Amino acid sequence: MDEPREEDNPTTYEVIVSPIVLEAMTNIASRTDRTRIDRVLCILDTVPGIGRTYDPLYEAAKPEEPVMVAYAGHYGIYYEVSDEREEVYVYYIEDQGRDPLSRFRPRNQNDGAFAS
């Protein structure tokens, strides 16, 4: 019998979704977009590199810290991967139709809600 190969047992990452993202997901009207977002979130545990480094054209559209982005429907899922901790932390979900210059800024300075 062949020895198991490393690719046969991929590392499974813990996907941690911020409270802001959980709240934002309840406000997404499109069932299709919600389903696509759920699928991407499920894939991130075994394929965290599915996204790419978010590098917007506008300096003002850059988040404070570098993040990766994967797209699902009309939404971008912004996250960070820690190979050391084997974690994926999902920071934001943003409607890609929003003004890119206001991305990653709270809509209400008091509640800190980022995603739509």
Percentage of residues in the chain having pLDDT higher than 70: 76
Residue 2 in any domain: the answer is no
pLDDT interval class at 5 (50, 70, 90)? low
- Under 8 Å between Cβ of 93 and 78: yes
pLDDT of 4 above 90: no
pLDDT of 112 above 60: no
Distances (CA, A) of 92 to 10, 89, 97: 26, 9, 15
Residue 109 in any domain: the answer is no
Global pTM?
Answer: 0.77
Across residues 54-70, what is the average pLDDT? 84
Q: What is the pLDDT, as a whole number, of residue 107?
A: 47
Residue 45 in tokens: 């545990």
- Under 8 Å between Cβ of 71 and 77: yes
Taking alpha carbons only, the member of 45, 56, 39, 37 closest to residue 10 is 45
Residue 113 in any domain: the answer is no
Across residues 46-52, what is the average pLDDT? 94
- The total domain count for the chain is 1
Residue 93 in any domain: the answer is yes
Distance of CA 114 to the CA centre of its chain: 13
